Amino acid sequence: MSEDTPLIYVVAAERSGDLLGAGLIKAMRSRYGNGVSFRGMGGEAMAEGGVPSTVSIEGLSILGFFDGLKAFSRIKERVAEVVADIIRHKPDAVVLIDSWGFMLRVAQGVREADPSIKLIKYVGPQVFATRPGRAKTLAETVDHLMSILSFDERYYRPFGLPVTFVGNPTLDRIEPGDGATFRARHGIAADAHTVLVLFGSRKSEIDRIGPAFVASLEQLKAEREVTPIIIVAGAVKEQLAPVLDHARSEFGAVIVDEAEKTDAFAAADVALACSGTVVTELATAGVPTVTAYKLGWLTWAIIRAFNIMKAPYISLVNIAADEMLVPEFVQTRCRGGLLAAEVSALLDDPKRRERLHSELAAATDKLRGEGDASENAAQTVFELTQ
């Protein structure tokens, strides 16, 4: 590293963070060229952007307290590895993307070993929804937060953490797809009803919601003519293989990878999706969506017992709109029959689908921010390293 060239260390522990990291790196290189260099821990997207991972992120996509306990030794080992690499290379700034538990441990490790290294959190914990105390913890641990939510700043201001709202890069990534071409390419009739199915990108998500999604497809196929379209995240393709084989043979499902995502969005009448980033992506594309989620039962029991969940909805789109534009089926309501009934109701009501198309797009406008989010993040990081 030359004296005039900042070294930025980008840390991402799962797929969504990897995409944010890749977008940040691309934007910084486009804007500053050789005026900045990178090192980091991430996945395929960051590697394709020229920043191969220094530490494996395999098995770090974890949600829930008890899942975290099971993976604690693996998390601890990866944290130690990435902290050691950061200290060895002494970057000008470390950008820690999403993944609250993992990134908090990395930040604390770096802070203890070398307080001079600037720590930037990219995507804050959702303190508006649960565990507001994390705002104070984050303020005590990092130097700056780059937020993707316009309403985040108010939660961190009392603790003195500087916050820059950069916008949501997820919304910038969604390009209009070609639904007609997608249908022709996969032999789907122009007037056929299609249901886009997204099982999630975490193994635990597939284990928990997969059976309900399959049951919903079975009920839909028994009651009506419908063509399922399943988009498969590369990280869980092997795990989903038996489900995909069954869906292809029993339901006539069309199976595609993420390279066809935007076209598949455009070809879909309705989507059935695991709650997460993809629900916001679908809303941006105006796709009427039914979402579901399940945590481990012990984690869920703790959340209910201690009233940890504060937000009225689990989907950012619903929170932004302050109404249930995306029907949510959480925990005990994540059942095949309920999901199939809601999907059928949407398929049977083209006027409702048309209205939702406009309302979903309007809700995501509130989340978008001004300008290109990755460009805004790139500028923020560069200015903080000067």
User: Which letter does DSSP use for residue 309 in this model?
Assistant: B
Q: What angle do CA 210, 216, 221 make, to 5 degrees?
A: 130
CB 96, CB 103: distance < 8 Å: yes
Residue with tokens 């290379």: 89
Coil, strand or helix at 223: helix
CB 107, CB 119: distance < 8 Å: yes
* Residue in 41, 57, 25 with CA at minimum distance from that of residue 110: 41
Q: What is the distance between the alpha carbons of residues 360 and 326, in angstroms, rounded to a whole number?
A: 8
Q: What residues are paired with 328 via a beta bridge?
A: 291
Cβ neighbours for 322, distance < 8 A, ≥ 6 positions apart: none
Exposure string over 164-191, b if 16+ CB within 10 A, otherwise e: bbbbbbbbbbbeebebeebbeebebeee
Q: What is the distance between the alpha carbons of residues 329 and 314, in angstroms, rounded to a whole number?
A: 10
Residue with tokens 């944010």: 20
Q: What residues are paired with 195 via a beta bridge?
A: 228, 270
Q: What is the distance between the alpha carbons of residues 173 and 368, in angstroms, rounded to a whole number?
A: 11
The CATH code of domain 179-368 reads 3.40.50.2000
**Is 3.40.50.2000 the CATH number for 7-167+369-384?**
yes
Interhelix angle 237-251/203-223, nearest 10 degrees: 0
Cβ neighbours for 198, distance < 8 A, ≥ 6 positions apart: 230, 231, 271, 272, 273, 274, 278
Q: What is the distance between the alpha carbons of residues 279 and 249, in angstroms, rounded to a whole number?
A: 27
CB 295, CB 63: distance < 8 Å: yes
Amino acid identity at 115: P
DSSP H stretches of helix in 142-273: 153-156, 169-173, 179-185, 203-223, 237-251, 261-267
The H or E element spanning position 12 is strand 7-12
**Tens-level pLDDT at each residue, the chain (386 residues):** 445 789 999 999 988 899 999 999 999 999 999 899 999 999 999 999 999 999 888 767 555 544 555 566 788 999 999 999 999 999 999 999 999 999 999 999 999 999 999 999 999 998 877 788 899 999 999 999 999 988 899 999 999 999 999 998 878 777 889 999 999 999 999 999 999 999 987 778 888 899 999 999 999 999 999 999 999 877 677 888 888 999 999 999 999 998 999 999 999 999 999 998 899 999 999 999 999 988 877 777 766 766 666 678 888 899 888 899 999 999 999 999 999 999 999 999 999 999 999 999 888 887 888 889 999 999 999 999 98
Residues of the chain with CATH 3.40.50.2000: 7-167+369-384, 179-368
The H or E element spanning position 333 is none
Distances (CA, A) of 369 to 40, 314, 381: 27, 21, 17
Q: What is the distance between the alpha carbons of residues 155 and 148, in angstroms, rounded to a whole number?
A: 14
